[in-house]
Amino acid sequence: MNADVMLHHIQQAIQMGDYSLSTHAEEEREADQITRAEILEAFAGEHVELLEDYSADPRGHSMLVMGFTNAGLPIHAVFGVSGVQVLFITVYRPDPQKWYDWRRRVRQ
């Protein structure tokens, strides 16, 4: 599945509530106090950006995606898709000291 098709599939799955969070993603969601409503706001809408595509990952195609809540807060998530199943591998609020304009990693 190419990145554009995968991103569209992810958005549709989130709109329908047809996704799951890994244990790690659930822990990160709770730690960053990200609500399920914010996940819907950030990743089901039109303003979702693909930041990094990991198509060659030996564990399966995944991608780092950014969306914004209705309050304008950025959220990053790494998604994997297996068949039709959409999985949040991780989800977090990006640290401004680690990201330029929320899109590019700060080189350490």
CATH number at residue 28: 3.30.2310
Q: Is the pLDDT of residue 3 over 90?
A: no
Measured in whole angstroms, how far is the alpha carbon of residue 107 from the centre of its chain?
21
The pLDDT of residue 85 is 86
Q: Which two tokens stand for residue 39?
A: 């996940």
Tally of domains in the chain: 1
The pLDDT of residue 25 is 97
pTM for the whole structure: 0.90
Range of the domain at 9: 3-105
Comparing 102 with 20, which gets the higher pLDDT? 20
The pLDDT of residue 67 is 96
Q: Which two tokens stand for residue 41?
A: 């706001």
Buried-exposed string 36-68: b where 16+ CB fall within 10 A, e elsewhere: eebbbbbbbeeebeebebbeeeeeebbbbbbbb
- Residues contacting residue 7 through CB under 8 Å, at least 6 positions apart: 48, 50, 63, 65
Range of weakest confidence among 4-8, 52-56, 98-102: 98-102
Mean of the pLDDT values across residues 19-48?
94
The pLDDT of residue 72 is 93
